[in-house]
């Protein structure tokens, strides 16, 4: 299929997404409608939206490239993600949904107050600008592949279109477009897998290629990815945002559980595609092209390539719109402390355009710097927030100590991600230097544990007992 035909299909696809946003314009009547889709979404839509959110550029093009480099152990990335989702379903999905929050920082604010809400919201908003920029870079590469030329104009039009339909319909549009995008992702990936393993003439044997660790992927990588990657899927803002749009606690738990099992199946399929490429395509032959994009162009029929192309494009779009609406909602709800749809729409435009500007600047260092801010979130937020959820209405927490746990873990992640050369000079064991973010995560956990007032009752419980005693005293006085 030639570039002109693909470009026409791309225009039709993007136009359809904008039309969905227009249809949802009048439906988003309240702040809750716009930000969390009214908190009334049924299982089907929550599950589809959750899966579409998870399957972005990193879990398609990123995993295929990682598989090409390290082999089958690349599967652990998504396996740990699936484990994180399943753990969420068993331990916290119902608790988080029960808070009736609009955003993840809002949930922290409900449990611990304004300081907790503010520090988490700042971390997320700053980090997610980089995450959006990284997704836009992947989108730009895909558009360049589709059109056959480096057209900034086409890229800007598509990027603005994503911002447009997200601005118009909010979370309602994001969820509906996620359903379409996930369907396209699945069709694209399955088409590619079936052709490579059942109809191609290449080496499709997996005998001897299935290994859980090797020289390129060591046991320490298992530990690191379990906490870092699993932690994001367990308690990341984009994943939790799908929890918050659920109609009730059971729906939130069901979505996380089903999503975990589907992600396990997907991880095997995408890694097997990467293994086929590793066995049949040389690195020089690809010439630095992403493995999936290379086989799309050279190893599978044009129609199958077009289907895969739209699958990859959908994966990128589904991540961009979710990140943009979540970051914008957090900025307005948790930093500005406003429940105003107009402000959220303005934030969608502002954050989207800032990320677009970083992408167009062509300065990879800036994009990497902002994208790596994600490393601040995992070591800084995951364990303290988990402890807050588990202790809510059971144990009281010293908020200043809890905030210190977030800050300390975040600093370790920041240093490990941005300044490894400085970390390398610290008088620490080599293991700690090489796993500085993981070390920060452990320290964050220890500090967060010290924030719990183990020997004290909740003020709410104490107040209840006081009311009971007062009532008993009043009854006794009345009898006298």
The DSSP annotation for 141-202 comes to HHHHHHHSS--HHHHHHHHHHHHHHHHHHHHHHHHHHHHHHHHHHHHHHHHHHHHHHHT-SS
The model's confidence at residue 465, banded by pLDDT at 50, 70 and 90, is very low
What's the whole-number mean pLDDT along residues 273-287?
86
The model's confidence at residue 246, banded by pLDDT at 50, 70 and 90, is very high
More confident residue, 471 or 47: 47
Residue 462 has pLDDT above 50, yes or no: no
What's the whole-number mean pLDDT along residues 383-411?
95
What's the whole-number mean pLDDT along residues 150-155?
79
Residue 419 has pLDDT above 90, yes or no: no
Residue 470 has pLDDT above 70, yes or no: no
Of 34-48, 168-182, 352-366, the range with the lowest mean pLDDT is 352-366
Helix (H), strand (E) at residue 222: helix 219-235
pLDDT in tens, 154-198: 888 888 888 988 898 888 888 988 888 899 899 999 999 999 999
CB 107 within 8 A of CB 101: yes
More confident residue, 99 or 312: 99
What's the whole-number mean pLDDT along residues 40-68?
88
Residue 466 has pLDDT above 60, yes or no: no
What's the whole-number mean pLDDT along residues 202-223?
85
The Cα–Cα gap between 470 and 87 comes to 42
CB 80 within 8 A of CB 221: no
The Cα–Cα gap between 72 and 210 comes to 6
The model's confidence at residue 467, banded by pLDDT at 50, 70 and 90, is very low
Six-digit token string for 288: 């630095």
The model's confidence at residue 367, banded by pLDDT at 50, 70 and 90, is very low
Percent of the chain beyond pLDDT 70?
A: 91
CB 145 within 8 A of CB 313: no
Residue 472 has pLDDT above 50, yes or no: no
Neighbours of 314 (CB within 10 A): 27
What mean pLDDT value characterizes the chain?
Answer: 86
The model's confidence at residue 81, banded by pLDDT at 50, 70 and 90, is very high
The model's confidence at residue 368, banded by pLDDT at 50, 70 and 90, is low
Residue 471 has pLDDT above 60, yes or no: no
Of 47-51, 370-374, 458-462, the range with the lowest mean pLDDT is 458-462
| pLDDT confidence of residue 115 | 95
Residue 460 has pLDDT above 60, yes or no: no
Neighbours of 204 (CB within 10 A): 15
CB 239 within 8 A of CB 53: yes
Residue 323 has pLDDT above 60, yes or no: yes
Residue 450 has pLDDT above 60, yes or no: yes
What's the whole-number mean pLDDT along residues 265-291?
88
| pLDDT confidence of residue 3 | 66
Which residues, including other chains, have CB under 8 Å from residue 315's CB and lie 6 or more apart? 52, 55, 56, 57, 59, 60, 181, 185
Six-digit token string for 214: 């090797």
SS3 336: coil
The model's confidence at residue 228, banded by pLDDT at 50, 70 and 90, is confident
Residue 443 has pLDDT above 90, yes or no: yes
SS3 217: strand
| pLDDT confidence of residue 293 | 86
What's the whole-number mean pLDDT along residues 129-147?
82
Six-digit token string for 278: 């590793």
Tokens 């009311």 belong to residue:
467
| pLDDT confidence of residue 406 | 96
The Cα–Cα gap between 155 and 164 comes to 14
Of 43-52, 103-112, 146-155, 470-479, the range with the lowest mean pLDDT is 470-479
CB 157 within 8 A of CB 13: no
| pLDDT confidence of residue 371 | 53
What's the whole-number mean pLDDT along residues 388-411?
94
Cα–Cα–Cα angle for 57, 122, 155, rounded to 5 degrees: 35
The Cα–Cα gap between 68 and 322 comes to 28
| pLDDT confidence of residue 463 | 44
The Cα–Cα gap between 118 and 104 comes to 11
Beta bridge partners of 41: 246
| pLDDT confidence of residue 139 | 85
Of 63-67, 146-150, 460-464, the range with the lowest mean pLDDT is 460-464
CB 318 within 8 A of CB 177: yes
| pLDDT confidence of residue 1 | 55
Of 77-91, 155-169, 376-390, the range with the lowest mean pLDDT is 155-169
Residue closest to 266 by CA, chosen among 142, 45, 85, 10: 85
| pLDDT confidence of residue 204 | 83
Distance between alpha carbon 222 and the CA centroid of its chain, in Å?
A: 20
């Amino acid at each position: 299929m030639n570039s002109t035909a693909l470009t026409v299909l791309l225009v039709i696809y993007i136009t359809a997404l904008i039309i969905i946003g227009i249809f949802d314009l009048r439906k988003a009547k309240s702040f809750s409608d716009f930000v969390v889709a009214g908190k009334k979404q049924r299982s089907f839509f929550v599950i589809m939206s959750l899966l579409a959110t998870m399957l972005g550029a990193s879990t398609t093009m990123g995993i295929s490239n990682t598989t090409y480099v390290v082999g089958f152990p690349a599967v652990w990335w998504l396996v740990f993600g699936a484990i994180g989702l399943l753990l969420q379903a068993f331990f916290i999905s119902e608790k988080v949904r029960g808070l009736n929050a609009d955003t993840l920082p809002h949930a922290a604010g409900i449990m611990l107050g304004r300081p907790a809400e503010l520090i988490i919201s700042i971390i997320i908003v700053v980090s997610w600008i980089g995450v959006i920029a990284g997704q836009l870079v992947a989108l730009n590469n895909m558009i360049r592949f589709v059109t056959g030329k480096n057209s900034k104009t086409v890229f800007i039009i598509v990027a603005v279109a994503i911002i447009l339909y997200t601005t118009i319909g909010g979370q309602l549009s994001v969820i509906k477009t996620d359903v379409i995008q996930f369907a396209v992702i699945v069709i694209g990936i399955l088409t590619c897998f079936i052709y490579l393993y059942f109809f191609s003439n290449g080496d499709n044997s997996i005998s001897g290629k299935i290994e859980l660790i090797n020289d390129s992927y060591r046991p320490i990588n298992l530990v690191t990815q379990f906490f870092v990657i699993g932690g994001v899927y367990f308690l990341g803002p984009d994943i939790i945002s799908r929890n918050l749009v659920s109609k009730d606690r059971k729906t939130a738990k069901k979505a996380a559980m089903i999503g975990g099992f589907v992600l396990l199946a997907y991880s095997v399929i995408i890694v097997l595609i990467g293994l086929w490429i590793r066995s049949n395509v040389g690195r020089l032959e690809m010439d630095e092209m992403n493995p999936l994009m290379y086989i799309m162009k050279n190893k599978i029929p044009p129609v199958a390539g077009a289907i895969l192309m739209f699958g990859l494009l959908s994966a990128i779009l589904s991540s961009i719109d979710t990140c943009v609406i979540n970051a914008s909602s957090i900025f307005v709800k948790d930093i500005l402390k406003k429940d105003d749809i107009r402000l959220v729409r303005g934030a969608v435009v502002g954050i989207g355009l800032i990320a677009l500007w970083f992408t167009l600047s062509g300065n990879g260092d800036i994009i990497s710097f902002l994208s790596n801010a994600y490393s601040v979130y995992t070591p800084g937020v995951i364990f303290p927030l988990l402890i807050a959820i588990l202790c809510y209405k059971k144990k009281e927490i010293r908020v200043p100590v809890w905030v210190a746990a977030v800050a300390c873990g975040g600093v370790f992640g920041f240093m490990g991600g941005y300044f490894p050369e400085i970390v390398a000079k610290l008088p620490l064991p080599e293991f700690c230097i090489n796993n500085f973010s993981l070390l920060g995560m452990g320290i964050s956990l220890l500090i967060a544990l010290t924030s719990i007032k183990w020997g004290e009752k909740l003020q709410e419980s104490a107040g209840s007992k006081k009311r009971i005693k007062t009532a008993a005293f009043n009854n006794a006085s009345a009898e006298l």
